[in-house]
C-alpha cells in the first residue's frame, strides 16, 4: 500500500497527504478502510498503523532515490530512469522535487550531519524498552553503562572504534566499584565518567532512555 500510487502518491510527502486519504471512514479508498477490510484492527491501533505506513512511504522514496535518481544526468534522462513500479507522471513530479535547489541543499546538509555520527546502535528495529526488559541482569535493571554496551555492541563485540574504546574504559572503571555497590544513574556513574555530562540532544545518548539529569 505504501508503494501504491492510488493510496500514497510517491511525489507527495506523507505529512502533506490529506487526513481523509489516510483515515476518513467515509472514503472508500482510505488507507485505514483497506486495512480494516482485511484485518480486525482495534481503534487504539489506528495511530500505529498510520505511523508505520508513513515510515514505509519514506523508506520507499529513499530506495527509489538511491537506485534510480542520478542528478548528473539530464532532466529527460532522469525521467527515463523511472522504476517500473512508479507511474510516469508521479516519477516526473518526484524528480522535479529532488532537483529543486533548496531540497538539494537540505539533502547535502543531512548527509553531512549523518557522516558526523560516530556511534551506531546495533539494536535494529527492536524497541529499546524491549531490549531493556530482555537484558535484565538476574531480575535487576541494567545500569546505563550496561545498557550502552547492549545497544552499541553484540556481546561486547563491535566494529565501531569509538564504542570499543568507551566500553573498554567503562569495564576498567567497573572493576573499581566495591562489591555489593550498584552503579546508580547520576553525574558520577560509569557512563557519565566516560561519555561526559548529559547534554540535551546529545547524539551519543540517543535511545538510552531516561538520562541521569532526568532523575
If you average pLDDT over each of 51-65, 118-132, 187-201, which comes out highest?
A: 51-65
Domain boundary among 89, 116, 143: 116
User: Left, alpha or beta for 139 (phi > 0: left; psi -120 to 50: alpha)?
Assistant: left
Degrees to nearest 5, angle at CA 59 with 12 and 15 = 35
User: How much is the pTM?
Assistant: 0.58
**What's residue 76's pLDDT?**
94
Asked whether residue 162 falls in the same domain as residue 92, the answer is no
Asked whether residue 202 falls in the same domain as residue 162, the answer is yes
Helix locations, 69-211, DSSP H: 75-80, 88-99, 101-116, 128-134, 144-152, 161-174, 190-195
Q: Is the pLDDT of residue 128 over 70?
A: no
**What's residue 70's pLDDT?**
93
pLDDT tier, 170 (very low <50, low <70, confident <90, very high otherwise)? confident
8 A C-beta contact, residue 103 and residue 97 = yes
Residue 33 lies in a domain: yes
8 A C-beta contact, residue 190 and residue 173 = yes
CB atoms under 10 Å from CB of 18, counted, come to 11
Asked whether residue 23 falls in the same domain as residue 112, the answer is yes
Asked whether residue 112 falls in the same domain as residue 18, the answer is yes
Residue 3 lies in a domain: no
CB atoms under 10 Å from CB of 182, counted, come to 10
Q: Is the pLDDT of residue 215 over 50?
A: no
Is 183 or 56 the better-scoring residue by pLDDT? Answer: 56
Residue 7 lies in a domain: no
Rounded to 10°, the helix 88-99/46-68 angle is 80
The parent domain of residue 69 ranges over: 14-116
The string of pLDDT tens digits covering residues 72-113 is 999 999 999 999 999 999 999 999 999 999 988 888 888 887
Domain boundary among 64, 95, 116: 116
How many domains does the chain contain in total? 2
Scan for cell 534522462, then name that residue.
77
Asked whether residue 109 falls in the same domain as residue 139, the answer is no
**What's residue 205's pLDDT?**
44
Amino acid at each position: 500500500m505504501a508503494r501504491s500510487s492510488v493510496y500514497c502518491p510517491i511525489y507527495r510527502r506523507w505529512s502533506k497527504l490529506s487526513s481523509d486519504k489516510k483515515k476518513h471512514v467515509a472514503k472508500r479508498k482510505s488507507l485505514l478502510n483497506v486495512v480494516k477490510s482485511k484485518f480486525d484492527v482495534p481503534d487504539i491501533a489506528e495511530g500505529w498503523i498510520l505511523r508505520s505506513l508513513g515510515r514505509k512511504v519514506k523508506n520507499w522514496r529513499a530506495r527509489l532515490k538511491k537506485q534510480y535518481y542520478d542528478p548528473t544526468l539530464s532532466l529527460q534522462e532522469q525521467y527515463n530512469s523511472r522504476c517500473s513500479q512508479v507511474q510516469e507522471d508521479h516519477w516526473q513530479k518526484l524528480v522535479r522535487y529532488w532537483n529543486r535547489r533548496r531540497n538539494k541543499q537540505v539533502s547535502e546538509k543531512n548527509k553531512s550531519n549523518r557522516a558526523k555520527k560516530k556511534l551506531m546502535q546495533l539494536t535494529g528495529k527492536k524497541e529499546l524498552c524491549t531490549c531493556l526488559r530482555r537484558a535484565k541482569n538476574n531480575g535487576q535493571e541494567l545500569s546505563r553503562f550496561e545498557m550502552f554496551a547492549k545497544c552499541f555492541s553484540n556481546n561486547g563485540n563491535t566494529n565501531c572504534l569509538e564504542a570499543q574504546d568507551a566500553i573498554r574504559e567503562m569495564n576498567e572503571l567497573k572493576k573499581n566499584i566495591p562489591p555489593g555497590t550498584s552503579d546508580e544513574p547520576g553525574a558520577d556513574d560509569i557512563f557519565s565518567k566516560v561519555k561526559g555530562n548529559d547534554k540535551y540532544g546529545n547524539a551519543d545518548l540517543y535511545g538510552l532512555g531516561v538520562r541521569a539529569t532526568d532523575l
